[in-house]
Structure 1
Amino acid sequence: MGDDFYALEEKDGIRCTWKNWPNSKTIATRNVIPIVVLYTPRKSIERLTLVEYEPVFCSKCRCALNPFTSVDYISKAWLCSICLNRNIFPQVYKNYISETNLPSELTPQCSTMEYILPHQVSSPPIFMLVVDTCCSKPELESLKLSLLQVLNTLPSDVLVGLISIGKNALVYNLGWMEGTRSFSFKGDKRYNTQEVKDRLGILNARGPIPDEKRVVVPLGDCEFAITIAIQELKRDPWPVAAGTRALRCTGTALSLAINSLEILHPNQGSRILVFSGGACTMGPGTIVSPDLDEPIRTYFDIKNDTAKYVKTAKQFYDELASQAGNNGHVIDIFSCSIDQIGLMEMRALSEKTGGYIVFSDSFETDVFKKSLQSMFNREETGALKMGFNANIQVFCSPDLKLSAVLGPGNSLSKRPPENNSDPNKRTYLASIDFNTTLAYYWDLAGNELERGRKYEVIQFQTNYQHSSGRLRMRVTTVKFPVADPHVMSHFISGFDQETSAVAVARWAVHKSEVEPTKEVIAWIDRTLVRLIKMFAVYQANAIHTFQLCREFSLFPQFMFYLRRSQLLQTFNVSPDESAYYQTIMQRENVINSLLMIQPALLSYSFDSPQAQPVLLDIASLKSDVILLLDTFFTVLIWHGETIASWKKQGYQEKEEYENFKTLLELPVEDALSIVQDRFPVPRFIETEHGKGHERVLKAKVNPSGGVESGNYFSEAVSLKVFTDSLVQYVIKP
C-alpha cells in the first residue's frame, strides 16, 4: 500500500479507491471498482489551519478559494478551480496579495482549513435524556449512577432535559426549583406538536411562559433539580402480570422529546440520548406485544412476512428520524438488554441524524459505562468532541456526477445549475465526530473528446456548530490526476485496495437492506471476478500463468472475509445485532471498517519481544502463543494450551519466570489501550484453549485445516479453496 494514500488521509481526511482517475465513463466501467471518495469531515489533522474570518467564494458556483486556484496577481483576480469563473479578490486581499505574500487559502499545505465564522454565534448544545424505568432495580440504579457521573462532567452552560419511559411518559419540569415536578403523557397515544405545546404550556398566544415551567434548562440553573429527579427515578410502578412484558412506551417518549426540541430549539445543536432496557410494547412504535407467549420477531418471521409490527414500527421511527434530522437534532440509542429492543426498526434514528448506537447486555457492563463516559470526552481546548447540526456541501468538476452518498445523515439534491458542478447537493447530519466518514460514489459524464482536463477537483464545505457554540466551516479541496487510458500501469499503481474493499462493503450492506444475502454475496463474487479478470496477467485455461500484482493482492481475501462477516451473514445473529453492525460500518473510517471486514490478529510469544501480526488462520492457534483478536466490536485475548497450563500452575508469580509474567501482561496492556481509544467501547474477553469464548476466535479465522493443539472442523470454505476457485473462473476464456 503506497504511503501517499495514508498521507492524503492524514492531511485532508480523504481516501479514494483510485488515485488516478479514468478519462471517460467507458474506462470507469471497465475498471469495475467505481470512483469512491471516503471523506472524514472532522478528522483530527495535526497542523489544521484555523482562522476567524469568512471564506472567499466564487461568485458563480460558491466554491471557496483554495490552493488549486489560478491567480492573476496583476489584475488581482482568481480563476475558480471548479467552474473556471473569473473572480476579483475582495479589497482586503488586494491590498497585500502577491506571489510572495499569499493568504492561507492559497498555500499548498492548506488544502484543508477551518473557518470560525464571525458574527454567527449559536447557543450551547442541548442534551435531552430519555430514560427507561421498566428495567430491573439493579439495572436502573446502575444507569442512574452513570447519568449522574456524566452530568458532573458537562459544562454548566449546556441545556438539559429529562423524560422517563414507563407505561406513561413523564416530561420533567427542571425549571421548578421547589421539588420534582413532571407532566404525564399517556403511553398509548401519539401527540402532535400542538398537543405537546398545550400540555407542556411551552408557548401561548402571549409568548413564552414563566421560567418555572421550562423543560429544557441550562445545567448551571437546574443542576440540583435534575440530580434530584434522576436520583428519585423508580422502577415503573405499573404492575407487570405473570407471563407478560413490562409496558414500555418508548415511541411516545421519543416523539415527545423530538416535538419539545422542535418547539423550543429548532435548528440548534441537540442530542436526544435514549437509554432502553427492552422493546417498546405499547403505543406508537410498538415492537412486540406485552404477551410473553409472543416472541420478538426473527429473520424467519421477517422473511415470511409474519412479523406484524415491523412495517408500522419502521415507518413510525423513520418519520421521527426525519423530523429530528430536519431540525438538526441527533438521536443516540443505548440498547442495554439481553433480548432485542427493536434496533432494526429504530436504526433510522441513528442513521439519519448521525447518532450513536451502543449495544450491550446490561447497564452494568463496561461497554455501556465506558462508552457513555467517552462520548463526552473533551478536546485539548476543553470543548466536547462533538460537532452539531452539520451539513456538507459538495462541489466538483463539471464532468463529474455524484451518484450516491452512503453514510449517516440525510441527502438532499436540488436541481443542478447549468455548469453541472451541482453545488446544491448536500448531506445533512445532526452530528459529526472525528471518525464520522461518508462514502461519495462518482460517475463520469461524456466521452474522452469532450473531457480535456488533466485533473478533477472536488471540494467539500462542512458547516457545523462547534460544542463551544460557534459556527464553523471546514473546507477540503482535493484534485486527482486523469490517467492515460492506454497505460494500464497508471490505474494499477493508483488502486487503493483497502478503500476499495470498504467501498464494496458499504454498497453490499446497503444492498442487503432490500436484497437477500445470497444475491448480495453473488454480486460481490461477480465484482471480484470481473476486477481480477481485468487486472491479472494470465493465459486462458493455464493456471500456472496466473499472476496478480501486489496492488490487488489483498483484495480477494478482503472479499473472502466480507462474505462470511457478521455484516452480511444472519445465521445465529439477531436482526438487532445486524442493524447494529451495519449502522456502525456505514459511519466509520477505512481502518476501523477494515477491522469489521477482516479482523486483526496479533501473536505474543517468547520468540519476539513485540506483538507480531499473524494470519487470520486456524493455524495461528498454537499452544505456546497468546493471541489478540480485534474485530472492532470485540477485543479478545486467547491463551494457547501450554500458556494456559503454565498460568494455572502460577509460573508468573515466581521471580525466575519474570519473562512469562511480562508475556502475559503485554496483550492485556495492548487490549486495554484499544478499548480506551475506541467508541463504542468494544467487548473485552479473555479466554483460553478449550473454553467457551474460544468460539469467538474460531468463528473469525480461516478454516484452513488442523491446528497444533487439536483438530478444528468446519463446513466453511477456506481461503485457499476460495482463491483457487476464483482463479478457475478468471482464466476461463
Structure 2
Amino acid sequence: MATFPEYIAQNEERDGVRFSWNVWPSSRLEATRMVVPVAALFTPLKERPDLPPIQYEPVLCSRATCRAVLNPLCQVDYRAKLWACNFCYQRNQFPPSYAGISEVNQPAELLPQFSTIEYVVQRGPQMPLVFLYVVDTCMEDEDLQALKESLQMSLSLLPPTALVGLITFGRMVQVHELGCEGISKSYVFRGTKDLNAKQLQEMLGLTKPSATQGRGPQTAQQPLSNRFLQPVQKIDMNLTDLLGELQRDPWPVTQGKRPLRSLGVAMSIAVGLLECTFPNTGARIMTFIGGPATQGPGMVVGDELKTPIRSWHDIEKDNAKFMKKATKHYESLANRASTNGHIIDIYACALDQTGLLEMKCCANYTGGYMVMADSFNTSLFKQTFQRVFTKDVQGSFKMAFAATLEVKTSREIKVSGAIGPCVSLNAKGPCVSENEIGTGGTCQWKICGLDPSTTLALYFEVVNQHNAPIPQGGRGAIQFVTQYQHSSGQRRIRVTTTARNWADAQTQIQSIAASFDQEAAAILMARLAVYRAETEEGPDVLRWLDRQLIRLVRGPGLKPGSGLRGSETDFMFHLRRSPFLQVFNNSPDESSYYRHQFNRQDLTQALIMIQPVLYAYSFNGPPEPVLLDSSSILPDRILLMDTFFQILIYHGETVAQWRKAGYQDMPEYENFKHLLQAPVDDAQELLHTRFPMPRYIDTEHGGSQVRAQRNTNNIHIDLRTDTLTCIFSLIYVLMFCQYIHFR
C-alpha cells in the first residue's frame, strides 16, 4: 500500500492533478469545518511521453445533461456490451466498433493506467497556426535593432505553413500588406481613433470568411491566407527584409515629451483583423512594447515627461486619471479576443512602467504570456522569446490554442469556480455550485492559450447533506475534458478522470487529516488570496488569510500531532510578505506581472515563488538545502538562491578572498575550482529550462559595484552586481523564517 505522499506524487505524474484533500469529508457541514475547500490544481497538458494519442473519438454518455466520457471507473457488462456512467448511472450501449471487447480485450480508455487519455478528432479541417506581430517603433535604435533580430530569428522557427502578419505603431498605426514583390505597402490608421471590426473590414477590403474560409478543409499547399496574413514559406524573404528595414517612428519628439505611442489602437486593429479573418481559430497576437501608451484609446499616461506614470499611491488617492478608461478599453479587447480563441502576448521591455496593470486582462483572459524586462537587448527577453517556440520530441510546438475545459462531477460534489488564465463559457449544469469562487457559475471555461506548465486552480463544494450518509466504500469522481487545437493543426480531446474516497469526519477524521496535501493547499489558498487582492484592500486580504490559517490550525483533527505540520503555516507566512500580496516597493506593473506568473505556473514553480529555495555549497559535502535565514550566510560557503524570478549566487567572505587571489587557477586547488563551478552549473540548468528566463545575479561579500556581461556555456547572461543591494535583498529574504513558528 503506497503512502499518501507516494499516492499524491503518482497522481500528479499521471494525471497532472493535486487535490487539497485526498480523502473527502462526506457532508457539506464537515467540509465547511475543514476550512481549506476541496480543490485541485490541474495541469491540462501535463507532459506524458508515454501517452500516445488515440486515433478515434471518445465514447460519450447518452444522457443529454451528462455526456461524460467512457473511463476506467465505469462499470462494464461485456456480455451485453453495455457500460454504466459513473457520474449519472445511465446505462449506455457500446458503439458497433466496440463489438469485440471482452475482459481480456479492453480498449485503452478502460485500463486503469489510462485515467488520462488523449483522442485525435478526425472530423473537421486542420487549421494553420497564425502569428500576428504588433511592434512598437517608438524606442531607441539599439532596442529596435535587437527586437528586429529576435523577430527575424522567430521566422526561422515557424512551420512553413504558419501564417504571419505585421502591424507596427508609433504615432500612426500601419498594417503591412505582405507578399508585395519589390515594394513595401501598408495601410495607415490614425492613432487617436478606435475602429470596430466592421469598420476595419471595410477599410482593409476584407470580406467575411465564406463557408470554406475559416472552416472548410485545407491542404498544406494552400493554407488560408489574405493580403495581411501570409504563409511563412511564401513571404519569408520579403518579411525578413521588411523587418530589417523598420525604422524608428519618424515623428519628432520634443524635449521634455514622451513619444506619441498608439498602443491601444494598434492592439484593437490586431484583434479586429483576426476577428474578421480567422474567428474561432487558434492565433497569437504577439505585442512588443517599449513604453506606455501616450495617446488615443488605452493611453495610460500623458506625453509630458514631468508627469510620472501612476503609482500605487496615485491609485489609492484616485489620482490615476487614465487608468479606469484604459482598463475598460483593454478588457474589451481581451473579451473580444477570448471569444474568438485568440491569444494576446505582451512583451514589455522598458526601464519605466509600460501599463501592464491596465493591460493585464489581455494576457490573463486569453492565456497569453506576459514578459517584463529592462530592454529588448537583454538575454532575459531574447532567451525567453526563443523558448516560446520550443518543440517537443515529435517536432511540434509546446503550445495549444483555442482550448475549452469542462468539468464533470459525481452527484455529491459541485464545481464552484476556477482561478487561472481562463474565461467563463457560462455553461450551467447539474454540477455547477451556487457558491462561486474565482470565475464561477459555470462548468466550462475557455483557455485560449495552453502550454505544458499552464495550471488552473479548481474549487469544489461538497453538497451531500449530513443526514444522507454515503455508502461505505463510496467514491467521488471528477472528470476534466480539455478540447484544444494542437500545434499540428489537429483538434484533440484530453480526458482525465479521477476519484477519491469519502469518509465520515466524525469517525475517520484521522484518515482525512492524513490525506491533507499541504503544498497543494498552500498554493490553492494563495491563488484565492491573490484573486481577492485584485479587488479588495490589501489589509483586508491579509486579515482574511490570517483568520483562515488560525481556523485551519484549530480545525477538527488538524491540531498539532494529528496531521498538520509546519509547512502550511510557513508558506502562509511567506505569502503574507510576498510581492503577490504586498505592493510596497513594487510598481503596479511589477505587481501585475508577479501575479500573472503566479496564477499560471504549476505547483513546484509556485512554491518557489512563495518560499525561495536556498542551497549551500561547501567543502563538507554535496550541496544541501539550508534555512532561509541570515545564519545560513557563512564565510566559507557559497549560496545559491532561486526565487523563480531571480537566481542569485552569493560567495562568502573567505570564498570571495580566495577567488580574488586566484586559487582556482592553481593545480593544487582543483577542488576549490570545482566548488566555484558547481553553483554556476546548477544555475545554468535553471536558466536553460525556466520560462520566463530569470534574472541572473552573481555577487560576493564586500565586493564593489560591477556591471559586466559574460558568455557562459553558450548562454548570453547579464551579470549585474550591486553588492550592497544584493546582500541586503538576500538578507531580507533569508530572514523571512526567523521570527515565525506557528504550531
Aligned to 2:59: 56
What residue is the counterpart of 2:116 in the other structure? 112
In structure 1, give the amino acid aligned to 2:266.
A
Q: Which residues in structure 2 correspond to 1:140-159 (within 5 Å)?
A: 140-159=144-163
SS at match of 1:185: strand
Instruction: Tell me the equivalent position of 1:668.
Output: 680
Q: 2:246 aligns with which of 233, 236, 244?
A: 233
Measured in 2, the distance between the counterparts of 1:430 and 1:528 equals: 34
Q: Aligned ranges for residues 89-168 of structure 1 at < 5 Å?
A: 89-93=94-98, 95-168=99-172
Distance 1:557 1:127 in 2: 43
Match of 2:548 in 1: 527
Q: Does 1:455 align with 2:475?
A: yes
Q: Is 1:437 matched up with 2:455? A: yes
Aligned letter for 2:242?
A
| Matching residue of 2:487 | 467
Secondary structure at the counterpart of residue 361 of structure 2: helix
Which residue of structure 2 aligns with residue 324 of structure 1?
337
Partner SS for 1:351: helix
1:45-87 CA distance string (max 9 Å, x none): 1321421101000011110000000011121100101111110
In structure 2, relative to structure 1, the CA distance for the partners of 1:180 and 1:113 (3 Å cut) is: same
| Aligned-partner Cα distance in 2 for 1:263–1:300 | 41
- The residue that corresponds to 2:384 in the other structure is 371
Deviates more, 1:242-251 or 1:404-413: 404-413
Q: What secondary structure sits across from 1:182 in the alignment?
A: strand
**CA–CA separation in structure 1 for the residues paired with 2:262 and 2:570:** 46
Alpha-carbon shift at residue 441 of structure 1 (Å): 0.6
Mapped to 2, the partners of 1:500 and 1:690 lie a distance apart of 41
Matches of 1:395 and 1:479, distance apart in 2: 12
TM-score by length of 1: 0.93
- 1:496–1:551 contact (8 Å) kept in structure 2: no
For 2:541 and 2:108, the matched residues in 1 are separated by: 47
Q: Which amino acid aligns with 1:230?
A: L
After TM superposition, the structure 1 = structure 2 runs for residues 280-291 of structure 1, keeping only pairs within 5 Å, are: 280-291=293-304
Contact kept, 8 Å, 2:416 with 2:441, in 1: the verdict is: no
Deviation at 1:414, TM superposition (A): 2.6
1:45 aligns with 2:56: no
Residue 351 of structure 1 contacts residue 583 of structure 1 at CA under 8 Å; is this kept in 2? yes
Please give the alpha-carbon distance, in whole angstroms, between the structure 2 residues aligned to 1:457 and 1:697.
50
Q: Report how far residue 567 of structure 1 moved.
A: 1.0
1:190 aligns with 2:210: no
Q: Secondary structure at the match of 1:449?
A: coil
1:28 and 1:515 mapped to 2: Cα distance? Answer: 26
Q: How many angstroms does 1:7 deviate by? A: 1.0
Query: How far did 1:696 drift?
Result: 4.6
Question: Of 671, 677, 692, which aligns to 2:689?
Answer: 677
1:599/1:700 contact within 8 Å kept:
no
**By how many angstroms is 1:212 displaced?**
11
Aligned AA (2:79): I
How big is each residue's C-alpha offset from its partner over 1:391-422, in whole Å with a ceiling of 9 and x where there is no partner? 01111112212112000010223332499999
Q: Which runs of 5+ in 1 are unaligned?
A: 539-546, 706-717, 728-733
| 1:408 alignment partner in structure 2 | 421
- Say if 1:519 and 1:317 are closer, same or farther in 2 by CA, change over 3 A: same
8 Å Cα contact 2:20-2:517 kept in structure 1: yes
Structure 2: distance between partners of 1:252 and 1:101? 59
Aligned to 2:207: 203
Residue 730 (structure 1) aligns with = none
Residue in structure 1 matched with residue 666 of structure 2 by the alignment: 654
**Offset at residue 551 of structure 1 (A):** 4.5
Structure 2 unaligned residues grouped into runs of 5+: 214-223, 435-439, 704-721
Superposition RMSD in Å? 2.1
**Which residue of the other structure, out of 87, 108, 116, is the alignment partner of 1:82?**
87
| Shift in alpha-carbon separation, 1:65–1:49, aligned structure 2, 3 A | farther
Superposed counterparts of 1:324-723, under 5 Å: 324-417=337-430, 425-452=443-470, 454-485=474-505, 486-534=507-555, 547-548=560-561, 551-608=564-621, 610-690=622-702, 692-693=722-723, 695-696=725-726, 698-699=728-729, 719=737, 721-723=739-741
Match of 2:716 in 1: none
Count of residue pairs the alignment pairs up: 701
Q: Which amino acid aligns with 2:448?
A: A
Q: CA–CA distance in 2 between the matches of 1:393 and 1:425?
A: 6
The amino acid that maps onto 1:241 is: T
* Residues 398 and 420 in structure 1, CA contact (< 8 A), matched pair in contact too: no
Q: Which residue of 2 aligns with 1:711?
A: none
Q: What amino acid is aligned across from residue 523 of structure 1 in structure 2?
A: W
Q: 1:702 deviation in Å?
A: 6.8
TM-superposed deviation, 1:193: 1.2
Which whole-Å CA distance do the structure 1 matches of 2:174 and 2:22 have between them?
54
Q: Secondary structure of 1:66's partner?
A: coil
Cα distance in 1 for residues equivalent to 2:688 and 2:153: 18
Tell me what 1:710 maps to: none
Change (3 A) 1:232 1:451: farther
The answer (yes or no) to whether the contact 1:17–1:33 under 8 Å persists in 2 is: yes
Name the SS of the counterpart of 1:318 in structure 2.
helix
Letter in 2 for 1:380: V
Asked if 1 retains the 8 angstrom alpha-carbon contact of 2:287 and 2:346, the reply is yes
Q: Any idea what the Cα deviations from partners look like across 1:557-605, whole Å, max 9, x if unmatched?
A: 1111111111111111000000000011111110000011101111111
Equivalent residues of 1:173, 1:213 under 8 A apart: no
Residue 27 (structure 1) aligned to one of 25, 30, 43: 30
Equivalent residue letter for 2:484: Y
Instruction: Provide, for residues 165-191 of structure 1, a one-character-per-residue CA deviation record: whole Å limited to 9, x for no partner.
Output: 100011000132232111101001101
Alpha-carbon separation, structure 1, partners of 2:633 and 2:78: 66
Are the counterparts in 2 of residues 173 and 180 from structure 1 also a CA contact under 8 Å? Answer: yes
Secondary structure of 1:427's counterpart equals: strand
- Structure 1 residues 251 and 206, CA gap change in structure 2 (3 angstroms): same
